[in-house]
Structure 1
Amino acid sequence: MEGPSPRAKTVANKWLFLLLLGLAAAAGRFLQAHGQLDNLGFISIDCGLPESAAGYVDNATKLRFTSDAGFIDSGINYNMSAEYITPSMGRSWHNVRSFAAGARNCYTLQSLVAGLRYLIRATFMYGNYDGLNRPPVFDLHVSVNYWTTVNISDANTPEIYEIITAVLADSLQVCLVNTGSGTPFISGLNLRPFKNGLYPMANATQGLVLVARANFGPTDGVIVRFPDDPHDRIWMPMSRPTEWLEISTTKKVQNMEDADSFEAPSAVMQTAITPVKATSPIEFSWDAQPNVNDPSPGYICILHLSELQLLPSNALRQFYITLNAELWDPRGFTPQYLYKNAAYNTDPQHAFRHYNVSLNATANSTLPPILNALEVFSVLPTSGITTAASDVSAITAVSKNWMGDPCLPKNFVWKGLDCIYAVSRPASVTGLNLSSSGLSGNVSPSFASLKGLQYLDLSLNNLTGTIPDTISQLSSLTLLDLTGNNLSGTIPSGLLKRTQDGSLTLRYGNNPNLCSNGNSCQILHKKKHSMVAVYAIVPIVAVVVIVLLLVLLICMRINKGIISKNLTPRNRTTSVHTSLQVNNRRFTYNELVAVTSDFQRVIGQGGFGEVYNGFLEDGTQVAVKLRSEYSDQGVQEFLAEAQTLAKIHHKNLVSLIGYCKDMDYMALVYEYMSEGALHEHLRGGENNTRCLTWKERLRIALDSAQGLEYLHKGCNPPLIHRDVKTSNILLNAKLEAKIADFGLLKAFNSDRDTHVSTARVVGTRGYIAPEYEATLQLTNKSDVFSFGVVLLEIVTGQPHILNDPEPTGIVLWVRRRLVSGNIEGMVDPRMCGDHDINSVWKFTDTALKCISQTPEERPTMKEVVVLLKECRELEAARVNSAAGYYTAESGGNPNSNAI
Structure 2
Amino acid sequence: MDDKYGRSWLARPVTRNEKEMNTTLAIDLDAINDPYKLPTEVLNTAVSARRLSDSVNIWRSYSDTSFEYKVYLHFFDFEERVDNSEKRIMNIIVNGFGDGVDENKNNVTKTISLSHRDPLTVPLTVEQGMGINNIFIKATSHSHLPPMLNAYEIYRVIPQSASATHQDDVDAIQRIRDIYKISRIKWQGDPCGPKGFTWDGLTCNTNDPPRIISLNLSSSKLSGDIDSTFSNLANLEILDLSNNELVGQVPEFFAKLPQLKILNNLTGSIPGALIEKSNLQLSLEGNGGICEIGSCEKNKNIVPVVATIASVVVFLIIVGIVMAIRRSLRKNEGGISSTSNKEQLKLKNQTFSYSQIHDITDGFKTMIGKGGFGEVYLGTLQSGERVAVKTLSLSSNQGYKQFKSEAKFLTLVHHRNVVSLVGYCDEGDAKALIYEYLSKGNLQEQLSDKNLNVLGWKERLQIALDAASGLDYLHNGCKPPIIHRDLKGSNILLDENMHAKISDFGLSRTFANDNDTHVLTNYPGGTPGYLDPEYHSSGTLNKRSDVYSFGVILLELITGQPAIRGTPDKPSHIHYWVKLKLEAGDIHAIVDPRLKGNYSVASAWKFLEIGMSCLPDVAIQRPDISHITSELKDCLSLEVSLQRNVSNKLDSFLMDYTLIDFNESDIVPNPR
TM-score bucket (shorter structure): 0.5 to 0.7
Aligned with residue 640 of structure 2, among 861, 871, 876: 876
Residue of structure 2 in register with 1:490 after alignment = none
Correspondence 1:316-335 to 2 at 5 A: none
Residue of structure 1 in register with 2:75 after alignment = 212
Spell out, residue by residue over 1:725-762, the C-alpha distance to the aligned partner (whole angstroms, 9 max, x if none): 00000000011100111111112122211211111322
The structure-2 alpha-carbon separation of the partners of 1:845 and 1:664, relative to structure 1 and needing over 3 Å to count, comes to: same
CA contact (8 A) 2:90 2:139 kept: no
Q: Secondary structure at the match of 2:384?
A: coil
Aligned with residue 599 of structure 1, among 344, 364, 372: 364
1-structure distance, mates of 2:402, 2:547 = 22
The structure-2 alpha-carbon separation of the partners of 1:449 and 1:632, relative to structure 1 and needing over 3 Å to count, comes to: closer
Residue of structure 2 in register with 1:852 after alignment = 616
Spell out, residue by residue over 1:195-244, the C-alpha distance to the aligned partner (whole angstroms, 9 max, x if none): 699xxxxxxxxx99864289x9999864434788999987655689xxxx
Aligned with residue 710 of structure 1, among 473, 491, 496: 473
Residue of structure 2 in register with 1:585 after alignment = 350
1-structure distance, mates of 2:418, 2:615 = 23
Cα distance, 1:825 vs structure 2: 0.3
2-structure distance, mates of 1:780, 1:803 = 29
2-structure distance, mates of 1:821, 1:833 = 16
Q: Which residue identity is paired with 1:825?
A: A
2-structure distance, mates of 1:587, 1:634 = 19
Q: Which residue identity is paired with 1:868?
A: L
Residue of structure 1 in register with 2:10 after alignment = none
1-structure distance, mates of 2:644, 2:553 = 28
Cα distance, 1:768 vs structure 2: 0.6
Residue of structure 1 in register with 2:178 after alignment = 410
2-structure distance, mates of 1:736, 1:728 = 13
1-structure distance, mates of 2:273, 2:551 = 52
Q: Which residue identity is paired with 2:178?
A: K
Residue of structure 2 in register with 1:743 after alignment = 506
Q: Secondary structure at the match of 1:597?
A: coil
CA contact (8 A) 1:224 1:268 kept: yes
Q: Which residue identity is paired with 1:747?
A: T
Cα distance, 1:641 vs structure 2: 0.9
Q: Which residue identity is paired with 2:525?
A: V
CA contact (8 A) 2:92 2:135 kept: no
1-structure distance, mates of 2:174, 2:437 = 48
2-structure distance, mates of 1:700, 1:806 = 31
TM-score (norm 2): 0.58
Question: Which ranges in structure 2 are unaligned for 5 or more consecutive residues?
Answer: 1-18, 39-59, 65-69, 80-85, 116-130, 154-161, 183-189, 191-211, 240-250, 264-271, 279-319, 650-672
Residue 829, structure 1, aligned to residue 589, structure 2: no
1-structure distance, mates of 2:274, 2:548 = 57
Q: Which residue identity is paired with 1:423?
A: S
Structure with bigger strand share is 1
1-structure distance, mates of 2:415, 2:274 = 42
Aligned with residue 403 of structure 2, among 624, 631, 638: 638
CA contact (8 A) 1:836 1:874 kept: no
Q: Count matched residues.
A: 466
CA contact (8 A) 1:424 1:870 kept: no
Larger Rg: 1
1-structure distance, mates of 2:614, 2:274 = 54
CA contact (8 A) 1:394 1:450 kept: no
Question: Which ranges in structure 1 are unaligned for 5 or more consecutive residues?
Answer: 17-136, 141-146, 150-192, 198-206, 241-262, 277-281, 283-370, 379-389, 435-445, 459-470, 478-497, 505-556, 886-899
Aligned with residue 579 of structure 2, among 791, 794, 815: 815
CA contact (8 A) 1:392 1:405 kept: no
1-structure distance, mates of 2:626, 2:603 = 19
TM-score (norm 1): 0.44
Residue of structure 1 in register with 2:442 after alignment = 677
Residue 625, structure 1, aligned to residue 390, structure 2: yes
CA-based RMSD of the aligned residues comes to 5.4
Residue of structure 2 in register with 1:757 after alignment = 520
Correspondence 1:76-95 to 2 at 5 A: none
Spell out, residue by residue over 1:251-282, the C-alpha distance to the aligned partner (whole angstroms, 9 max, x if none): xxxxxxxxxxxx98645167799x99xxxxx9
Cα distance, 1:654 vs structure 2: 0.7
CA contact (8 A) 1:627 1:665 kept: yes
1-structure distance, mates of 2:394, 2:402 = 14
Between 585-594 and 736-745, report the one with greater CA deviation. Answer: 585-594
Residue of structure 1 in register with 2:432 after alignment = 667
Residue 423, structure 1, aligned to residue 218, structure 2: yes
CA contact (8 A) 2:89 2:140 kept: no
Residue 374, structure 1, aligned to residue 374, structure 2: no
The structure-2 alpha-carbon separation of the partners of 1:614 and 1:856, relative to structure 1 and needing over 3 Å to count, comes to: same
2-structure distance, mates of 1:684, 1:643 = 36
Q: Which residue identity is paired with 1:645?
A: L
CA contact (8 A) 2:228 2:253 kept: yes
Q: Which residue identity is paired with 1:268?
A: F
CA contact (8 A) 1:431 1:456 kept: no
The structure-2 alpha-carbon separation of the partners of 1:610 and 1:222, relative to structure 1 and needing over 3 Å to count, comes to: same
Residue of structure 2 in register with 1:268 after alignment = 136
Cα distance, 1:580 vs structure 2: 3.4
Cα distance, 1:499 vs structure 2: 8.8
The structure-2 alpha-carbon separation of the partners of 1:801 and 1:196, relative to structure 1 and needing over 3 Å to count, comes to: farther
Spell out, residue by residue over 1:552-589, the C-alpha distance to the aligned partner (whole angstroms, 9 max, x if none): xxxxx9xx99x9789933764457776634x3111122
Spell out, residue by residue over 1:332-368, the C-alpha distance to the aligned partner (whole angstroms, 9 max, x if none): xxxxxxxxxxxxxxxxxxxxxxxxxxxxxxxxxxxxx
CA contact (8 A) 2:176 2:229 kept: no
CA contact (8 A) 1:723 1:744 kept: yes
Residue of structure 2 in register with 1:224 after alignment = 93
Cα distance, 1:631 vs structure 2: 1.5
1-structure distance, mates of 2:474, 2:432 = 23
Spell out, residue by residue over 1:149-173, the C-alpha distance to the aligned partner (whole angstroms, 9 max, x if none): 9xxxxxxxxxxxxxxxxxxxxxxxx
2-structure distance, mates of 1:793, 1:739 = 16
The structure-2 alpha-carbon separation of the partners of 1:625 and 1:373, relative to structure 1 and needing over 3 Å to count, comes to: same
Structure with bigger helix share is 2
